[in-house]
Amino acid sequence: MLVDLDNPVIRGLISNLVGEEGMDVIIKMPEGEVTDEEVTIVTEVPLNVVRRTLYILFENRLATYRRERNKDSGWLTYLWKMDLNGVNELLDNELNKLLKNLKTKLEFEDQNMFYVCVNHCGRFTFDVVTETEYLCPNCGEDVTFEDNDIIKHSLKKRIQELENVET
């Protein structure tokens, strides 16, 4: 399976993992097994960035390596091969994390009442403002009740959209 690096979702996910220099490594990486030094020469990306990128890809199951010992010197050589086929699993995992976070946020919004400072210092739960006699814990000014129905509606809508996504 070929991975479409022009797909903005896939590119964004991988770019978040490895950064822009890392993307250069991925885009210019030679086919087959290669050493990190060979990748540096081909991609013109510094060796430390190449190594960091390869290790991040390996940690996320998007690259593999094989060790080879030089019989004369005893040195180990790592031969790297990129395999982006696991990107869909990675996308699924990220989607699940996002959904979990949004559901946690929605639950928090459902279970709390909120107040905001008239000076825009912040947003506080009922428990916090009752301890400060409905004054902002930061500046001491009054706080006013905030209806969070719009926030809850937005969270529910986003959760529903993400639950309907096919990766």
**Entry pTM:** 0.68
Mean pLDDT score, 119-143: 95
Does position 154 have pLDDT exceeding 80, yes or no? yes
* Strand pairing category for 114-117 and 123-125: antiparallel
Q: How many CB atoms lie within 10 A of CB 35?
A: 15
Share of the chain above pLDDT 90, in %: 79
Instruction: Give the type of residue at 57.
Output: L
Averaged pLDDT, 110-122: 96
Binned at pLDDT 50, 70 and 90, residue 88 comes out as confident
Average pLDDT, whole number, for the chain? 92
Q: Establish if 1 belongs to a structural domain.
A: no
Q: Which residues, other chains included, contact 56 with Cβ-Cβ below 8 Å and sequence gap of 6+?
A: 17, 18, 22
Asked if the structure places residue 121 within a domain, the reply is yes
- 78 and 141 share a domain? no
Rounded to 5 degrees, what are φ and ψ at 28? -100, 0
Question: In which domain, by residue range, is 146 found?
Answer: 89-163
Distance CA 16, CA 103 (A): 23
Assigned domain for 95 exists: yes
Average pLDDT over residues 33-55: 95
3 within a domain of the structure (yes/no): no
Query: 52: which 2 tokens?
Result: 């960091």
For the chain, what is the domain count? 2
Q: Is residue 2 part of a domain?
A: no
- The first and second tokens of residue 30, run together, are 């030679």
* Mean pLDDT confidence for 10-20: 91
Q: Where is the domain boundary, 28, 48, 82? A: 82
> Does 158 lie in the same domain as 139?
yes
- The reply to whether 94 and 64 lie within a common domain is no
Separation of alpha carbons 5 and 167, rounded Å? 15
